[in-house]
Chains A and B, each alone.
Chain A
């Protein structure tokens, strides 16, 4: 099956998704929402890799996506463990309140 649209259409969707993720990270306060926004960015990256891979008839992109998926799963485990452990000791999570260190 050939690509249904020119690669640029896919890349454009990927760019928009990435930008939405960046806005989410920068503008939200809840670490879980920030974390979800980072997942959006990673998905945008994967979409770019898949598009380039198809358009270039090259296999490196597929493998890259496979590895990004694996690493993202590992990051989720560590990140959520840290977020939950902070909550257990503080009963609230809000990045703007995490300011016991200043300077």
Chain B
């Protein structure tokens, strides 16, 4: 290790996207303290400006030359990090646009803090994706997790949100413990925390499970895999996902389902597919099994759900399974397919949650499958948008989801794991069932005749959530108008979903570049 390295301005330029998001977070907090309460809704503009500034930073870094590594190998701005940053920025930007109107409806007075925490979580996600050191991976993970714990518990006085926050906090800290122990053992086995050093050590020393320092490395890999599998909600480490996704505010769920996954998958790629590539035989089996369990289990569990938010949570588990194929393959084609899949997943999933959010009145109410009956006649535009997003999630040709699934299944076949393709296709068939069930309810089942107010009174969840009469009145209003920014977000997600499905080539080449392919 060289101790002659000096930090220069160029190092800070290499983390320009992170800095842009961070500055936006700080500005939100500062401006929040200075403006009157009724103007706080406008703070979202600062957040969106931050995302756009970070986007400019990514474009600048794509154009720049020289070594992408910065801060003595702590972080990098290689194409992989930049691609992941793009996906995270897309999810963050869309989630921010979805928030105004919705979070006011939840009755919170702390909009400034909400936007600041969203920006800080996004900073953590981008940082984790750029990390090339175990230490930075851990810090990025914590910087994204801590704001999310708070955001999950955000809705004031709502039991589900608090439950969601506490479950997420306890289980996530538990997983962080495994992750850290794994990092400690890998550090002990290889003497390095930077991924380059780990790779160098593993490549130059013959390692096996029974000789030399292999066992500690093996244990470290297993524990690290458990920790990261939790973060991407792979089965059997998924138990927190449905409750947390259902209980949290919908913009938070949208951000979490895409941003955390993207960051954690980049960490998986960097640690397993790159740094520990020489000992692939030792970890490939774990990833293979995780991928199969998650694909099959996620889809089967999703098929039994009657709450759309919960259904989307299980569907996000299932998608983590398809993504894990890319990790298990360990080939560059697999990584490229994973990255493209993640980009497609970002637009279609945030879009689907966006429609759920537009129909949701107060956190958790109006998200049951029954509430979607006859939606096509009541809100035809929203129903059509949701149908497109669900078709994309199911993988219907013409949408981003189809290209993504095709890419990852093709990579599995060429990578010599045709069995993953077969299982994946079968699992997707189960997926069709539950996505189509929602579409069926929207288009072919008549709406219930009950007036909305009566329906509200008859709703058993009402007493459960402990809502006051003002909320019931709100609920009785027949549907909420779509805020302009939410409409914009849905339109962007729709363009993305269809655009990536019809013209996938530019993004595929970007993903291939990120994976190190020509």
Contact = CB atoms under 8 A, between A and B. Distances in A.
Report A-B touching, CB under 8 Å: yes
Interface of A: 11, 18, 21-22, 25, 31, 34-35, 38, 41-42, 44-45, 48-49, 51-52, 55-56, 58, 60-61, 63-64, 67-68, 71, 74-75, 78-79, 82-83, 85-86, 89-90, 95, 98, 100-101, 103
29 contacts: A34-B174, A38-B173, A45-B181, A48-B184, A51-B188, A52-B187, A55-B188, A56-B188, A58-B192, A60-B135, A60-B187, A60-B192, A64-B184, A67-B135, A68-B180, A78-B146, A78-B169, A79-B170, A82-B166, A85-B153, A86-B162, A89-B162, A100-B160, A101-B163, A101-B164, A101-B242, A101-B243, A101-B310, A103-B310
B181 A41 contact: yes
Contacts of A25: 170, 174
Contacts of B184: 45, 48-49, 52, 61, 64
B351 interface: no
Given A60-B192, A64-B193, A89-B162, 18 more contacts: A18-B177, A25-B170, A31-B166, A34-B170, A38-B170, A38-B173, A38-B174, A44-B181, A45-B177, A48-B184, A48-B188, A49-B184, A58-B192, A78-B146, A79-B173, A82-B165, A86-B163, A95-B170
Nearest to B220: A48
B177 A42 contact: yes
Going nearest first, the 8 A-B pairs with the smallest beta carbon separation are A41-B177, A52-B188, A48-B184, A45-B180, A60-B193, A98-B163, A86-B162, A71-B142
B242 A103 contact: yes
Max chain A C-beta neighbours (<10 A), residue from B149, B157, B167, B173: B173
Given A52-B187, A79-B149, A89-B159, A98 B167 contact: yes
A78 B117 CA distance: 13
Nearest to A90: B159
A100 B161 CA distance: 10
Contacts of A44: 181
Q: Is the interface of B mostly helix, strand, loop or mixed?
A: helix
Given A42-B180, A52-B184, A74-B146, A100 B464 contact: yes
Nearest to B141: A71
Q: Is the interface of A mostly helix, strand, loop or mixed?
A: helix
A64 B184 CA distance: 9
Contacts of A58: 191-192
B247 interface: yes
Contacts of A45: 177, 180-181, 184
Max chain B C-beta neighbours (<10 A), residue from A60, A64, A101, A103: A101
B288 interface: no
B85 interface: no
A71 to B, nearest CB: 5
Contacts of B283: none
B477 to A, nearest CB: 25
B150 interface: yes
Nearest to A87: B162
Nearest to B133: A60
A78 B120 CA distance: 15
B304 interface: yes
Interface in B123-169: 134-135, 138-139, 142, 146, 149-150, 153, 157, 159-160, 162-167, 169
Given A85-B162, A100-B160, A31 B188 contact: no
B165 A38 contact: no
B307 interface: yes
Contact of A101 (B142, B181, B188, B247): B247
A85 B164 CA distance: 13
Contacts of B193: 60, 64
Nearest to A97: B163
Nearest to A11: B188
Contact of A63 (B135, B166, B192): B135
Contacts of B183: 64
Contacts of A95: 167, 170
A48 B399 CA distance: 49
B462 to A, nearest CB: 12
Nearest to B305: A103
B344 interface: no
Contacts of B167: 95, 98
B264 interface: no
B250 interface: no
A63 B74 CA distance: 13
Contacts of A68: 138, 180
A74 B142 contact: yes
Nearest to B169: A79
A44 B305 CA distance: 40
Contacts of A55: 188
B185 interface: yes
A41 B180 CA distance: 9
Contacts of A49: 184, 187
